[in-house]
Amino acid sequence: MFKPILLLLFSNMFMTFAWYGHLKHLAARSLALVILFSWGIALFEYTLMIPANRIGINFYTLGQLRVMQEVISLSVFAAFAFAYMKEPLRLDYLWAALCLVGAVYFMFRGGLAH
């Protein structure tokens, strides 16, 4: 039951770097090169995301998987923005997190899928 969560966590780490990591170190490179580089990183993301969903559907509903993905994605992004990109943490992150808590509540209030 926790394996999909771990796979989603690592998958989101790769995807966050694929989408945003180039902004810090590859800004002067050509767009085509950055796209190819990001695709290479995204390949690893998919090798984790697809199994996470295939395993996760045995424990969670499709909606629960999706909301879980969003919570993990925004959590990883907030940590990435603060630690790697050196952006200040703002209250907006807290408000967004509270909205996600509500989403999680509504998706999981009936229990797990199976």
Reply yes or no on whether the pLDDT at 113 is more than 80.
no
Within a domain: 58: yes
Decide: 3 and 68 in contact? Cβ < 8 Å. Answer: no
Domain span at residue 99?
3-108
The model's pTM: 0.82
Within a domain: 113: no
Total of domains in the chain: 1
Of 113, 1, 4, residue with least CA distance to 53: 4
Q: Which two tokens stand for residue 46?
A: 């998919």
Higher-pLDDT residue of 109 and 57 is 57
**Which range, of 2-16, 51-65, 91-105, averages the lowest pLDDT?**
91-105
Q: 111: pLDDT confidence band, cut at 50, 70 and 90?
A: confident
Within a domain: 19: yes
Within a domain: 114: no
